[in-house]
Structure 1
Amino acid sequence: MEKVSRRAALGAAAVGASAALGACTSDDIRPPAALTGRRTPTPKTSSTSASPTPTGTPIGDGSMSDTGPQPHQPPPPQPLRAGQRPPQFVVISWDGGGQTGAGLNSYFQDVARAYDARMTFFLSAIYFLPQAKKALYHPPHHRVGASDIGYFPDRYVHATIEQTGKAWLAGHEIGTHFNGHFCGPTGVSAWSPADWKVEIEHVHRFVAQWRTNTGFTDLPSLPFDYRTELVGGRAPCLEGSANLRRAASELGWRYDSSATRPASWPRKDCGLWDLSMQPIPLPGTRAGVISMDYNFMANQSGGPNGDPAMRPAWKKATVASYTAGFRRAYDGNRAPLVIGNHFEQWNGGIYMEAVEEAMRVMAQQPDTRFVTMRGLCDWLDAQTPAVIQRLQALNGAPTGGWDTYLRLT
């Protein structure tokens, strides 16, 4: 486990409601977003069972296949009617997306099913690459095969490939967390648009050629073509978003979640929807905390193995923070709430439990929709420019109510 920086944690909490700077003009405020180490805790049980993979047209070496439209999708979004209140969107996203002995990827697929939720898995594509083949990775400005998150053992590579296919069939989105997770001054913050394109090409290649690279013959093809499926991602440590967005725009992506933004309706930057996380209230303080498990852990314990006696209080505070951020939006401007997490067991797994408990609270409220990043883009693109502008102008609940504010007459 890498040591958590207290300075970085305070920086994450201090972002507050300040706006992230436009990525096409300058760098964003960037709190760290991911811990590079991994643990193998006691597995959680999961009811996810093997489901038949639809027969499709093989692509390339058969690592992927075209099986048609993705199943378990919501109805196509419609424009808001005059005076209609927007739904409350919640995006649950997972950085890394790996399946280890903890079984958290498959477990949260079960959680999602319980709440008719769709989630975004920001896959670290290096988790598809066996360590024996690390020489295939040529990261920009780093030695061949370098990776700050290491490589999975083959059994976890196998499990991650399997669960990625199942997640897509269950209706979830497969985005990207890229590969080597290089943070700091020598990491992705210094990458050019061309560097990002090199990294993204490696993302495509590791997913599209897993069958050749692993030699696994007992797994079905992924039921999608990743080159068309991949339309957005989240950079490691929320760094380098300016040049990433330039590259992503040229590649035809639809969104990016690699910065921070106020608790307001998304805007476009470089032609991409900025679906970054936002600060949410942190109980007992005047500060906000970016809506991600890492930032709670960094502020509460400064590391992944804090005082066990404090963990119940920390979990309670995390649940309260998520639900306060949700309530602020639900009763206010209805801006989408984006939550980012990792399949980790930091502080005994309290942040995993907190997400599940917060989802249970949110699901009880009418008009709450758990959607993917792609699904949120679909809804935003279905609205008229006038409605989007009115939503973006809101800092809180509209004066006079939604019926008046969005009547647009």
Structure 2
Amino acid sequence: MAATHSFATGTVIVAVCVASLAGCGTGTDGAGERARDQERAEPAPAPKNVVRLIGDGSTAYTGAQPRLPRPERLKPGEKPPQFVVFSWDGAGEDGQKLFSHFREVARENNATMTYFLSGVYLLPEEKRGLYHPPRHPPGRSAIGFNDRQGIADTVRQLRLAWLEGNEVGTHFNGHFCGSGGGVGEWSVADWKDEIAQAKRFVKTWRTNSGIGNAAPLPFDYDKELIGARTPCLEGRKNFTKAARDLGFRYDTSGVGDQVWPRREKGLWDLPMQLVPFPGHSYEQLAMDYNFMVSQSGTTTQGDPAKHDLWGDQMRDGLLQGFERAYEGNRAPLIIGNHFESWNGGTYMRAVEEVVEAVCNKPDVRCVSFRQLVDWLDAQDPATLAKLRTLGVGEAPGQGWKSFLSGSPAPAPKGVPGAPAEKG
């Protein structure tokens, strides 16, 4: 998982009217006007008459989230859609502008995604003492904190992403991995404390940053937050206990194969998945960081002559994983990423090419985790149990119509037991 994130510096803050959730600030240097024009090109904001500020105005209730499809139960014999989830750990907008870029990529390819926000990305460096990480001194964070400009930029991207139908989850706060107080050693109480702080930083970013005239995030984070991925995929056992107590609906911190997920004690287990690794006899987790470690070790900027090859390996591995699900058991494909330019940005290029290649295919739905669990919850449990009997890449032997019809399909003509042909 990511352990380094750098944020752009700056102090220009654009005033935005709270009621409209869109650009209407002013500025003597013209920044307000430019921001207003840019905002006008974005999706329409929530209606003004449903905006109700929460707390200090960092968040607001604005009604139901736009652009969420209504989940429908599969009809008997119907082939399941192919779900693909693109998700981002520690989502934030910095000088690389990768958050805003992939929002655009998603819009252009009929996709929505999940952005796992690190709470400390909404906490300025000078207020770092407000963070009390479990088993660490106050003000510690393995990924640092942010500045006012970085907070303003990140909030803007989160606001627009949600209005476009994307999900805002959590990647918690300080990203502590390994021994010596890492998340793998945390108790259930530690996790609940960390989650409470992650929520608090989202719900108080205006106060903590001093950006009091900016538009709020257009959602109630206590209700929006339904799932997470733990740092380095560690600490899952106690995190999931805390998550169930707090009403979460899913976890995506495990490791598994490309098979249909199951719900365990009310929590959907949506693990990171193993996909083919071109040129190797073993498979790799469908995440940029894991491909990088297998290619260049912990060096984030390895041999430039190999960057294209490494990116192609990730792209082709994800596409091979997609194809074996799409033509096989139709299990949802879970892909994890970071807004990082590791090895020259080759993994960002790979992910973008995968989005463009798969999200516009027939029967494919590139969705957030929220949309996936909404669909899973709408299905007949017996249908999901039947889907879980299919192995990796395994298509039903007699076709989907027979497999999910609830009754066996008639035998093909000309074989023993087939209906007699009419003369």
1:144 aligns with 2:144: no
The answer for the alignment partner of 2:239 in structure 1 is: 244
1:291 aligns with 2:258: no
> 8 Å contact 2:171–2:229 — kept in the other structure?
yes
- The verdict on how the C-alpha distance between 1:313 and 1:259 changes in structure 2, with shifts beyond 3 A counting, is same
- Residue ranges of structure 2 left out of the alignment (5+ in a row): 9-37, 408-423
> 8 Å contact 2:56–2:206 — kept in the other structure?
yes
> 8 Å contact 1:319–1:357 — kept in the other structure?
yes
Measured after TM superposition, the shift of residue 266 of structure 1 is 0.5
The answer for the alignment partner of 1:111 in structure 2 is: 105
Counterpart-to-counterpart distance in 2, 1:270 and 1:190 = 23
> 8 Å contact 1:147–1:180 — kept in the other structure?
yes
Query: TM-score if structure 1 supplies the norm length?
Result: 0.88
Q: Secondary structure at the match of 1:370?
A: strand
Q: Is 177-186 or 357-366 further displaced after alignment?
A: 357-366
Q: Secondary structure at the match of 1:178?
A: coil
Larger radius of gyration: 2
1:69 aligns with 2:78: no
Q: Is 381-390 or 363-372 further displaced after alignment?
A: 363-372
> 8 Å contact 2:133–2:174 — kept in the other structure?
yes
Aligned with residue 295 of structure 2, among 300, 308, 315:
300
The answer for the alignment partner of 2:150 in structure 1 is: 156
The CA deviation string for residues 3-52 of structure 1, in whole angstroms up to 9 with x for no partner, is xxxxxxxxxxxxxxxxxxxxxxxxxxxxxxx13113579xxxxx884556
The answer for the alignment partner of 1:179 in structure 2 is: 173
The answer for the alignment partner of 2:119 in structure 1 is: 125
> 8 Å contact 1:246–1:270 — kept in the other structure?
no
1:325 aligns with 2:330: no
Counterpart-to-counterpart distance in 2, 1:195 and 1:148 = 17
Aligned partner letter, 1:339: I
Measured after TM superposition, the shift of residue 82 of structure 1 is 0.8
1:227 aligns with 2:227: no
Counterpart-to-counterpart distance in 2, 1:370 and 1:51 = 19
Q: Secondary structure at the match of 1:332?
A: helix
> 8 Å contact 1:39–1:345 — kept in the other structure?
no
> 8 Å contact 1:121–1:175 — kept in the other structure?
yes
Counterpart-to-counterpart distance in 2, 1:284 and 1:183 = 30
- Residue ranges of structure 1 left out of the alignment (5+ in a row): 1-33, 42-46
Counterpart-to-counterpart distance in 2, 1:84 and 1:224 = 35
Q: Is 355-364 or 323-332 further displaced after alignment?
A: 355-364
Higher RCO (CA 8 Å, separation ≥ 6 residues):
1
The answer for the alignment partner of 2:362 in structure 1 is: 366
Measured after TM superposition, the shift of residue 399 of structure 1 is 1.1
1:337 aligns with 2:333: yes
Measured after TM superposition, the shift of residue 364 of structure 1 is 4.1
Counterpart-to-counterpart distance in 2, 1:378 and 1:213 = 34
Counterpart-to-counterpart distance in 1, 2:254 and 2:195 = 18
Counterpart-to-counterpart distance in 2, 1:325 and 1:222 = 35
* Equivalenced residues, count: 370
The CA deviation string for residues 243-295 of structure 1, in whole angstroms up to 9 with x for no partner, is 10000001111000111122100112232101121000000111110000001
Aligned with residue 76 of structure 2, among 82, 87, 90:
82
The answer for the alignment partner of 2:277 in structure 1 is: 282
Measured after TM superposition, the shift of residue 218 of structure 1 is 3.8
The CA deviation string for residues 152-175 of structure 1, in whole angstroms up to 9 with x for no partner, is 232112211111111101110000
Q: Secondary structure at the match of 2:330?
A: coil
Counterpart-to-counterpart distance in 1, 2:7 and 2:219 = 29
Q: Secondary structure at the match of 1:168?
A: helix
The runs of at least 4 aligned residues of structure 1 exceeding 6 Å deviation read none
Q: Where in structure 2 are the equivalents of 1:347-362 lying within 5 Å?
A: 347-362=343-358
Aligned partner letter, 1:158: A
1:259 aligns with 2:254: yes
- The verdict on how the C-alpha distance between 1:110 and 1:226 changes in structure 2, with shifts beyond 3 A counting, is same
> 8 Å contact 2:250–2:269 — kept in the other structure?
yes
1:385 aligns with 2:403: no
> 8 Å contact 1:126–1:151 — kept in the other structure?
yes
- The verdict on how the C-alpha distance between 1:215 and 1:53 changes in structure 2, with shifts beyond 3 A counting, is farther
The CA deviation string for residues 285-342 of structure 1, in whole angstroms up to 9 with x for no partner, is 1111000000111111112101111111111111100100100110111000000000
Counterpart-to-counterpart distance in 2, 1:53 and 1:263 = 37
Counterpart-to-counterpart distance in 2, 1:219 and 1:58 = 12
Counterpart-to-counterpart distance in 2, 1:167 and 1:35 = 21
> 8 Å contact 1:77–1:382 — kept in the other structure?
yes
Aligned with residue 159 of structure 2, among 127, 151, 165:
165
Aligned with residue 315 of structure 1, among 311, 329, 343:
311
